[in-house]
Chains A and B, each alone.
Chain A
């Protein structure tokens, strides 16, 4: 009965490959997010989607693209993976932006070799 789930939990791949991380929430929330936790442990927002519209697009490389087939899903596609993309990626959701707490998935540890 997981609220926010991500697959896979671990992903090891080679440079230059294209990969996707899936995220689903069963909370009925309106907004979903992707965060990156880098080697320095900072959690930084990458994208958020509200009712299928991209509302934040931080300065991430355009190799990263979020795709939301419906309100309950926000998948992250990464093209031409680079070593620097190695990190833990967290999906999150909230009832609304701003004042409502965000609920996080368990994270996907991506390792690019």
Chain B
């Protein structure tokens, strides 16, 4: 029962172009969403987050969009750089329930081609 789904296991993008990573969720209790970036043999690194009261959050080259009605969020990276090549995990939490749990998607491996 995957509550957070990342349906694309991999994505290849040319350097300088836009990378769009997608994430869908099924649990309507989720109200906080995060993106993590992971390099091999390292732990996930927090990238950007968004609360359900917003539909967009931007931080430099990274923008996360949230569509609550569609239960869909996406991460845009513009422009993409070779150093962005990593696995990106989408995560969600239902903070109001007193839960401290993050539910992760399976990840999307992004390859940025120089």
Contact = CB atoms under 8 A, between A and B. Distances in A.
Interface of A: 4, 31, 33, 40-45, 48, 50, 55-56, 58, 90, 92, 94, 97-99, 101-107
B32 A31 contact: no
B56 interface: no
A98 B51 CA distance: 11
Interface residues of B, number: 25
A107 B51 CA distance: 27
Contacts of A4: 43
Contacts of A97: 95, 98-100
Interface in B42-101: 42-46, 49, 51, 89, 93-96, 98-101
Given A41-B106, A98-B32, A99-B95, A104 B100 contact: no
Given A98-B95, A99-B93, A44 B104 contact: yes
Contacts, number: 60
26 contacts: A4-B43, A41-B106, A41-B107, A42-B106, A43-B44, A44-B104, A45-B103, A48-B100, A50-B100, A56-B100, A56-B101, A58-B101, A97-B95, A97-B99, A98-B32, A98-B96, A98-B98, A98-B99, A99-B51, A99-B95, A101-B34, A102-B102, A104-B43, A104-B44, A106-B41, A107-B43
A44 B91 CA distance: 11
A102 B42 contact: no
A40 B106 contact: yes
Contact of B42 (A45, A98, A106): A106
